[in-house]
Structure 1
Amino acid sequence: MDSGRLRPAGSDHLIPLLAEHLQGVGRGGKMNSEVRVRNKRRTIWLLSLLVLGMFGFGFALVPLYDVLCQITGIQSVSLRSAGEIANPASEQEDSRLITIKFDTSVHPNLPWDFSPVERTLQVHPGKLYQVDFAARNRSSEPVTGQAIPSVAPWQATAFLNKLECFCFNQQTLAGRQSVDMPLRFMISPELPQEIRSLTLSYSLMKLENAPTEPNKREKG
């Protein structure tokens, strides 16, 4: 039997590498120094590539969020104008009542109080309503926040038509400022009959390095 067939797979590549390693050892400290410099440069290059990748991923988060909203039905701030008014000319349905609940949450790093003036409202599809949300900046400095909306069940998202909403824009409150922020909305009569109630939630998050022009709307 040919002994060459008994050699481990890949030995044709390993033997030259081993020989090169032995030659490097034989050359002593000079070769080791060159290897260290080469490895250090390779490490710096890989770290730079990683930083660039993370930077690019940060920019991709916004469009990825929009794609997620489209898939799951979550109301995206950037998609608010798409399908906002399912049928603005629809007639009011007086015989049908929908219970809508309002829920709010505030990120821990945002020093605001934020809550709906009314937590529950019964509405007729096709009729325009307004609900105010009370916000107060507890700190002594201007702070900017952004409200992120979501609807449950998600199937009702396309049928909740917002004509005016504080979530459309960033909101800046001066130190100790209190405001009422309005939401004007309408439930489309095309809302499926099996949906009799829905919850509109807002998560308020702090925006760093945002413009600090205070909200001119004062608390009523």
Structure 2
Amino acid sequence: MDQETRGLNRQLLGKLLVIAVMMFGFGYALIPVYKQICEVLGINVLTQKDGTVTLDQNTQVDASRTITVEFDGNAQGPWRFRPVVASVKVHPGQLQTVLYEVVNTQPRTVQAQAIPSYAPQSATPHFKKVECFCFKQQTLKANEARQMPVVFYIDPALPKDVKTITLSYTFFEIAGLDKTASK
């Protein structure tokens, strides 16, 4: 390899190293640039400049109103199913947890699902469940008893004339699934 070729190779190596360093620097600078762009545009911002966390509007509690939420449980199958409390009083926007209790009275494992209903029907879009046993099927072993939570809040946009909401669940066995006796 002659001197001229070695010089061209060194020059090319220098250019490639400069490009690699620039690419690394660009990638490293993207994070603060992205954060700055998001802050300017007001998107994907989790904290304010003073360090406090911003909250979604529906978590604001309307202490000027009180809603009575009544609970009901209907069993369509081989168990006892009921709410632990008959009713609670909540302010719109206030997070609340209630428990439902189910007891499988059969000597076999059963699978079940709960379906909610609301009264008055106009309250349905304003009843916001964060966690609920009704989101998935439940498998109950023979003679098993379980307490299952419902975590909810009432949207402050609930019409002012609604003072009472009834949450009712129908808990029913899912047909066609494994119903073998437990050992």
Give the TM-score taking structure 2 as reference length.
Answer: 0.65
- State whether structure 2 residue 59 is matched by structure 1 residue 93: no
**Which residue, out of 130, 142, 161, partners 2:97?**
130
Q: Does 1:183 align with 2:150?
A: yes
**Structure 1 CA distance, aligned partners of 2:84 and 2:74?**
14
In the alignment, is residue 117 of structure 1 matched against residue 84 of structure 2?
yes
Q: Which of 105, 127, 149 is 2:74 aligned to? A: 105
Q: Indicate conservation of the 8 Å contact 2:131/2:151, yes or no.
A: yes
Partner of 1:167: 134
4+ residue segments displaced more than 2 Å: 87-90, 209-212
Give the structure with the higher percent helix. Answer: 1
Q: Deviations over 1:115-154 (max 9, x none)?
A: 0001111011101000000000001100111111100000
Name the SS of the counterpart of 1:136 in structure 2.
strand
Q: State the aligned residue count.
A: 124
Shift of 1:88: 5.8
Tell me what 1:217 maps to: none
- Kindly provide the amino acid, as one letter, of the partner of residue 92 in structure 1: V
**1:154 is matched with which residue?**
121
Measured against aligned partners, the alpha-carbon deviations of 1:158-204 in whole angstroms (never above 9, x if no partner) come to 00000001111111100010100100000011100000001011011
Structure 1 length as normaliser, TM-score? 0.54
Residue 11 of structure 1 corresponds to none
- 1:104 CA drift (Å): 1.1
Which runs of no fewer than 5 residues in structure 1 stay unpaired? 1-86, 213-220
| Identity across matched positions, percent | 40
Report the alpha carbon displacement of residue 211 of structure 1 after superposing the two structures with TM. 5.6
Aligned partner of 2:37 in structure 1 is none
